[in-house]
């Protein structure tokens, strides 16, 4: 490769990390290492690797959880490298956003070929684990939300709802799309869920007694998270 690509290895086995470093550096990769899921997530946010090699058996959280959290804000290519060789494991990882899956022990030439294929398919563009709109700030990496400078405690459902609106900030997101993404495809007609949770979310993140609101209702259509001019 003419310009060095950066590969982040997230694996708690030092022997595997050493082997991968040798293989990758021989192909002119710049190699970063993380031995836990949380460290790996932080490294993706701060160091912006070009590809991630992710083990599923990590000491602090399952690799599938790392992948799911990463896909909330990042499109970085991810190759799963795991001893789990069952079809259900592979399907779960690919459905969660993995780009490829290689089982351990692995053949180095096959691994490198799969990485080259991943690079060819990799999406272009930048991404950011941080979102801000007016008085609202979200760190997708740590799942922390602050409103008007204070941390807000959201339930898992409230966070999922806010995440969908933030990912489409400035655009109207339909009732059906929100219900499908937050509650699943079988909930597309359950609009009462949405009304209740939107009310909860508004109470937690909006500033009382102010005319400028971040969460707008588009009557009969859906909801929109407004981007103040200073946030664009």
> For 11-47, how does the pLDDT look when each residue is reduced to its tens digit (9 = 90+)?
999 999 999 999 999 999 999 999 999 999 999 988 8
**Residue 101 corresponds to which tokens in the numbers above?**
């899956």
The SS3 of residue 167 is helix
What pLDDT is recorded for position 180? 85
Residue 122: pLDDT band with limits 50, 70, 90: low
pTM for this prediction: 0.65
Bigger pLDDT: 228 vs 183: 183
Query: Distance (Å, rounded) from C-alpha 230 to C-alpha 93?
Result: 38
Residue 84: pLDDT band with limits 50, 70, 90: very high
Closest CA to 223 of 209, 213, 232, 231: 213
Cis amide leading into 45 (omega within 30)? no
Percent of the chain whose predicted confidence (pLDDT) is above 90: 62
The full set of domains in the chain, from first to last, is 6-121 (3.40.50.2300), 130-231 (1.10.10.10)
């Amino acid at each position: 490769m003419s310009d060095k690509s950066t590969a982040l290895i997230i694996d708690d086995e030092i022997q595997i990390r050493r082997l991968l470093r040798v293989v990758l550096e021989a192909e002119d990769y710049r190699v970063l290492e993380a031995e836990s899921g949380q460290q790996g997530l932080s490294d993706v946010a701060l160091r912006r690797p070009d590809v991630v090699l992710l083990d599923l058996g990590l000491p602090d959280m399952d690799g599938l959880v790392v992948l799911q959290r990463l896909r909330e804000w990042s499109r970085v290519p991810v190759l799963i490298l795991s001893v789990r060789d069952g079809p259900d494991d592979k399907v779960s990882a690919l459905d969660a956003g993995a780009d490829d899956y290689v089982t351990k022990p692995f053949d180095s030439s096959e691994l490198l070929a799969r990485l080259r294929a991943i690079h060819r398919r990799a999406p272009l563009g930048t991404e950011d684990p941080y979102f801000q709109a007016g008085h609202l700030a979200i760190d997708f990496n740590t799942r922390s939300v602050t409103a008007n400078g204070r941390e807000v405690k959201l339930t898992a459902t409230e966070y999922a709802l806010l995440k969908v609106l933030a990912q489409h900030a400035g655009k109207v997101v339909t009732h059906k799309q929100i219900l499908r993404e937050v509650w699943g495809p079988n909930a597309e007609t359950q609009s009462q869920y949405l009304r209740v949770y939107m009310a909860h979310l508004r109470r937690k993140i909006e500033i009382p007694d102010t005319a400028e609101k971040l969460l707008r209702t588009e009557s009969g259509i859906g909801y929109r998270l407004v981007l103040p001019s200073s946030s664009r």
